[in-house]
Structure 1
Amino acid sequence: MLRKYVSLFLFYSLVVMTVSGTVLYIMPHGRIAYWTGWKFLGLDKDQWGSLHTIFGFLMVFFGFWHVFFNWKSIANYLKGKAGIFTSKEFLLTAVATTAVALGTMFNVPPFKTVMDFGEKIKNSWSKPETLPPASHTELMPLSKIAQKIGISPEKAIEVLNSKGIKIDSPSETLKEIANKNKTTPAKVYEILLRISKKNSFQFQPGTGMGRLTLREICLQLSIPPQKCLQILKKNGISASLDERLRDLAFRNGKYPYQIIELLQGGK
């Protein structure tokens, strides 16, 4: 009887892991998912991640039970003429598994192709007009956001209230404000940014800017793409508009923030 429960729990865990794994494979990168309040089937990025983790543990747990109940059959699969762990099936599957692990770690085709395809899907999701100026900006309180863009918390609350955004306290985070008003952190930030005199676009580690293409970076900086190419060329940097900032920077012996500084006229 217990064997049936184990098999069914293992099956259900596999179904959930398949669905959650697929969603995690195609969902936008964290910076975009959190910033835009991304959801799929009513669940956000954290909820899908939690589902995948918990059912992953369940799958491992019931997987061990499955091995326990079927150990005789598994032992026969492993046993060759010279003893256990010498069967042709064991050796072939062990070699294949090792090859997949090494290929994935060293990022070689076809494993690289699979990951690149997922990256392409992640980058294809629509992006907000303004990207977050720092890592996890959505978790910052309104008071800190106001300080960053050069206005007082009182002014920030006044502006948001005028747009129908309800706020109880300047200590509320952008995410809390957005959830309460059925909007996104990006839209709340963009409202505040319209009255700010500061430039919101600053490259900071952890914001994911390195994954953007040069074309996207140029648009964020309000610089014509061809002008970006000219600026980089004058500084001895060969570039392609469809190349990711991180790849472009490292290929030319620089860090992503240094490319941003060059485009903004820094040294």
Structure 2
Amino acid sequence: MEKNKKNFNWRGFTSLYITLSFIIMAISGIILYFAPPGRVANWSYWRFLGLLKSQWQAIHTIFTFLFIIAAGFHLFFNWKPFIAYLKTKFESSIKLRKELIISSLVVVLIFVMTINDSVPFKNVMDFGEELKDSWSTQKTEPPIPHAEDLTIFEFAKTINIPVDELKRSLVAQGFSIPNDEITIKEIAKQNNISPNDIYNKIKPNNNQLNQPLGEGRGYGRKTLSEICSQNNISIDVALSNLKAHGIEAKENEKLKDIATRYNLLPIDVANKALGIKKESE
């Protein structure tokens, strides 16, 4: 009795793999479109469908690279049909010269408008930024960006607490602190909690309103009214503070737009609106 032996179909494998990879790339890309900024995601251990943002980023990156490699193999296995297809399309494109020129111009136009931040592509990017920024609250923001990577000594200095006092507070909460060089992220990992959970347990109660705001916290995407609301200051006071610096603004205007108009950084606009002076001022 003859046994039918079927060889592995590499052409079919690459075709199916490319299809499945594309689906995963599309899903992970959509998730990363609305995922919070890294400073918030890494600090609060943000998850979607059980996976951290860093894991979604890894999935998207790895599957993109493998998709390109698989596409190369797919082209190799289908080289003859591909060449025949190109010849056919080239011959038909002569008849569709007008369509070819217009489609090429459309591609170039989209490319140029995208890199120049033009409408409507600007709206797509702004909407994504708004979705990302919606995850950012006073409870989820770290004291400084990527504070989870700070050692106990560095973190104590950042939140203005003596390192010995911070260590005693953490030990009293049941955390093990072997030395000053252990990072907040390492402590969180050992206890299966987020760095934000640790911070909430030992957060100082002192009012930090008069301290300059830290950079890299997404201030450019916030409106002036949002900054005022988060820092418990009247919008009228903020507008008055800005006017004292020669800055005219509207309450629903984004800080990045105000900053661009006056050749400033968004963080500088925020500090001036809140009446906060830097040490150099």
Distance 1:71 1:248, change over 3 A: same
The letter of the residue matching 2:24 is V
CA distance in 2, matches of 1:202, 1:50: 35
- Equivalence for 1:238: 248
Structure 1 residue 25 displacement after superposition: 0.4
Match of 2:126? Answer: 116
Q: CA RMSD in A?
A: 2.9
Aligned pair count reads 266
Alignment partner for residue 79 of structure 1, among 90, 95, 107?
90
The separation in 2 between residues aligned to 1:219 and 1:154, in whole angstroms, is 34
Asked if the contact 2:212–2:271 (Cα under 8 Å) also holds between the matched residues in 1, the reply is no
CA distance in 2, matches of 1:3, 1:130: 48
- Flag the 1:74–1:106 CA change in 2: closer, same or farther, 3 A: farther
Shift of 1:90: 4.8
CA displacement at 1:18 relative to structure 2: 0.8
| 1:209-228 equivalence runs, <5 A | 209-228=219-238
Do 2:238 and 2:275's aligned partners in 1 also have CA atoms closer than 8 Å? no
CA distance in 2, matches of 1:193, 1:174: 13
Alignment-derived partner of residue 39 in structure 2:
31
Structure 1 residues not aligned, in runs of 5+: none
Are positions 1:18 and 2:26 aligned together?
A: yes
User: 1:34-67, CA deviations, whole angstroms, 9 ceiling, x for partnerless residues?
Assistant: 2221111121111111111111111111222333
Out of 153, 159, 168, which is 2:163 matched to? 153
Report if the CA contact (8 A) 1:225-1:241 is conserved.
Answer: yes
CA contact (8 A) 2:44 2:140 kept: no
Given the alignment of the two structures, is residue 134 of structure 1 paired with residue 174 of structure 2, yes or no?
A: no
- CA change 1:223–1:127 in 2 (3 A) is same
**Which residue number corresponds to residue 265 of structure 2?**
255
**Residue aligned with 1:121, SS:** helix
Q: Alpha carbons of 1:213 and 1:166: their partners in 2 closer, same or farther (altered >3 Å)? A: farther
Partners of 1:133 and 1:201 within 8 A in 2 = no
Instruction: State which drifts further: 37-46 or 208-217.
Output: 208-217
Contact 2:149 2:185 in 1 (8 A): yes
Shift of the alpha carbon at 1:134?
2.8
Amino acid at match of 1:38: W
The structural deviation recorded for 1:14 is 0.3
Cα deviations across residues 115-166 of structure 1 (Å, max 9, x unaligned)? 1221121122252436333332111111111122333323212112323444
- Using the alignment, how far apart are the partners of 1:198 and 1:241 within structure 2? 23
Q: C-alpha displacement at 1:179, in angstroms?
A: 2.9
SS in 2 for 1:80: helix
Q: Secondary structure at the match of 1:108?
A: coil
Larger radius of gyration: 2
1:264 matched to 2:272? The reply is no
1:57 and 2:57 aligned: no
Runs of 5+ consecutive residues of structure 2 not aligned to the other structure? 1-8
Aligned partner letter, 2:172: S
Q: Is the 8 A contact 2:224 2:253 kept in 1?
A: yes
Q: Against the structure 1 CA distance between its residues 127 and 258, is the aligned structure 2 distance closer, same or farther, given a 3 Å change threshold?
A: closer
The answer to whether the 8 A contact 2:212-2:276 is kept is no
Cα distance in 2 between the residues matched to 1:234 and 1:253: 17
**2:220 corresponds to which letter in structure 1?**
G
Q: Which residue of the other structure, out of 152, 163, 188, is the alignment partner of 2:173?
A: 163
Give the letter for the 1:147 counterpart.
Answer: K
TM-score of the superposed pair, with normalisation by structure 2? 0.81
Q: SS at the partner of 2:189? A: helix
* Distance 1:88-1:168 versus aligned 2 partners, 3 A rule: farther
Counterpart contact for 2:241–2:275, Cα < 8 Å = no
